[in-house]
C-alpha cells in the first residue's frame, strides 16, 4: 500500500467521523431547544441534513415505543407478564432503529438526491480561465464548510484522492457508492459530494458560478494528478 492510499483511507475515515458527529451534535442540541436558540447553536450550516437524521431517530424511537405499548395492551388481557415483555421489545426495537440511523449511512435521502445532477441541468457557462481562478480561491475557502475545512485541507498538491481520480468522468468513486449509493459520479457531482460529506455543508447551487468554478479548477487538478 502506498502512503497516498493510506492517507486517502485516513481522510475517508475522518470524513465519516465528521458526518456522524454533526447529526449527533444536532440531536443533543435539539434535546435542549431553549439553550439552542440562546447560544445560537442552531446555526449549524448542515442543519438540514442533521435534522433529517434527528427526525428519523426520533421517529424510530416513537414507533418502537408505540408498538410496544399496543402489543402490551393486547397481551395484558391474558396475563400481566405480557405487558412487560411487549414494552421491552418495543423499546429495544426503537433503539435499534435509532442506532442504525446514527451509525449507518449518515447521509439523508434528501442529501443523496441533492448531490445528483438535477433534471434539465444547465451548468453556469463562463470563461474557463476566470472560472479556474475563482475555483482556486474557493478551493482554499474554509467558509464553504461548516467544520473549518477547505477543499485544500485534504487535497493540497494532489493529496487525498484515490486512484479513480485519473479516470474520465463519469466514473466509480468509492465514497460516492458507499455514502450516496451512486455507481458513477460526474466531476460536478463529486464536488457536491465533498461539499456534503467531508465539508459537512450544503451542495452548491447547481446553476451557480461557484460550482462551475470549482469544477473547472478540479478539472485542472485532475490533469496535474494524471501527470504526477
Ligand atoms: C476531510 C477531507 C476532504 C475534504 C475537506 C474534501 N475532500 Fe474531496 N475527497 C476526500 C476523500 C477521502 C476522497 C477520496 C474518495 C474516494 O475515492 O472514495 C476525495 C475525493 C475527491 C475527488 C476525486 C474523486 C475521484 O476519485 O474521482 C474530488 C474531485 C474531490 N474530492 C473534490 C473535493 C472538493 C472540490 C472539495 C471542497 C469542496 C473537497 N474535495 C474537500 C476528502 C476530502
Residues near 89 by beta carbon (within 8 Å), at least 6 away in sequence = 68, 71
Mean pLDDT (whole number) for 207-216: 98
Instruction: Read off the pTM.
Output: 0.66
Distance from the CA of 161 to the center of ligand 1, in angstroms? 6
Is the distance from the beta carbon of residue 192 to the nearest atom of ligand 1 less than 6 Å? no
Give pLDDT, residue 180. Answer: 97
Q: List, for residues 49-108, the tens digit of each pLDDT value.
A: 444 444 444 444 444 444 444 444 434 343 444 444 444 444 444 444 434 334 445 899
**Is ligand 1 within 6 A of the CB of residue 174?**
yes
β-bridge partners, 176: none
**Percent of residues, the chain, with pLDDT higher than 90:** 53
The radius of gyration of the chain from alpha carbons, rounded to an integer in Å, stands at 22
CB of 131 shorter than 6 A to ligand 1: no
Q: Which residue's CA is minimally distant from atom 28 of ligand 1?
A: 190
Per-residue pLDDT at 219 = 98
| Cα 55 to averaged position of ligand 1 atoms, centre (Å) | 28
pLDDT for position 228: 85
Q: Which domains does the chain have, with CATH numbers?
A: 3-106 (no CATH), 115-226 (1.10.760.10)
- Among protein residues, the one with the nearest Cα to ligand 1's atom 37 is 151
Most ligand 1 atoms within 8 A of CB, residue of 195, 198, 221, 226 to mutate: 198
Which candidate, 166, 27, 179, places its Cα nearest to that of 116?
Answer: 179
Residue 160 pLDDT exceeds 90: yes
pLDDT tens profile 126-156: 999 999 999 999 999 999 999 999 999 999 9
User: Which residue's CA is minimally distant from atom 5 of ligand 1?
Assistant: 151
pLDDT for position 72: 40
Q: Which of 209, 169, 211 is nearest to 194 (CA)?
A: 211
Band of pLDDT at residue 26, cut at 50, 70 and 90: very low
Q: DSSP labels for 182-199?
A: -S-B-HHHHHHHHHHTTT
Residue nearest to atom 26 of ligand 1 (CA): 165
Backbone torsions φ then ψ of 60, nearest 5 degrees: -55, -45
- 163: pLDDT strictly greater than 80: yes
CA of 37 to the centre of ligand 1 (A): 33
Choice between 100 and 6, residue whose per-residue pLDDT is larger = 6
Distance CA 143, CA 15 (A): 17
What is the distance between the alpha carbons of residues 215 and 51, in angstroms, rounded to a whole number?
A: 28
Q: Compute how many other C-beta atoms are within 10 angstroms of the C-beta atom of residue 121.
A: 11
Nearest to 189 by CA among 164, 214, 167: 214
Cα end-to-end distance, the chain, whole Å: 18
Amino acid at each position: 500500500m502506498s502512503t497516498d492510499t493510506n492517507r486517502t483511507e485516513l481522510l475517508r475515515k475522518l470524513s465519516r467521523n465528521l458526518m456522524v458527529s454533526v447529526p449527533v451534535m444536532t440531536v443533543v442540541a435539539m434535546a435542549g431547544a431553549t439553550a439552542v436558540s440562546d447560544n445560537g447553536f442552531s446555526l449549524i450550516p448542515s442543519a438540514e441534513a442533521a435534522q433529517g437524521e434527528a427526525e428519523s431517530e426520533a421517529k424510530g424511537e416513537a414507533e418502537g415505543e408505540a408498538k410496544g405499548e399496543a402489543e402490551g395492551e393486547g397481551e395484558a388481557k391474558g396475563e400481566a407478564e405480557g405487558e412487560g415483555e411487549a414494552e421491552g421489545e418495543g423499546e429495544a426495537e426503537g433503539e435499534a432503529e435509532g442506532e442504525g440511523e446514527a451509525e449507518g449511512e449518515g447521509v439523508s435521502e434528501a442529501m443523496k438526491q441533492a448531490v445528483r445532477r438535477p433534471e434539465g441541468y444547465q451548468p453556469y457557462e463562463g470563461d474557463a480561465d476566470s472560472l479556474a481562478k475563482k475555483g482556486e480561491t474557493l478551493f482554499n475557502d474554509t467558509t464553504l464548510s461548516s467544520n473549518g475545512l477547505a477543499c485544500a485541507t485534504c487535497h493540497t498538491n494532489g493529496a487525498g484522492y484515490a486512484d479513480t481520480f485519473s479516470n474520465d468522468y463519469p466514473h466509480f468513486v468509492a465514497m460516492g457508492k458507499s455514502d450516496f449509493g451512486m455507481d458513477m459520479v460526474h466531476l460536478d457531482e463529486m464536488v457536491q459530494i465533498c461539499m456534503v460529506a467531508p465539508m459537512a455543508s450544503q451542495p452548491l447551487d447547481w446553476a451557480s458560478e461557484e460550482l462551475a468554478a470549482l469544477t473547472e479548477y478540479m478539472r485542472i487538478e485532475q490533469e496535474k494528478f494524471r501527470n504526477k
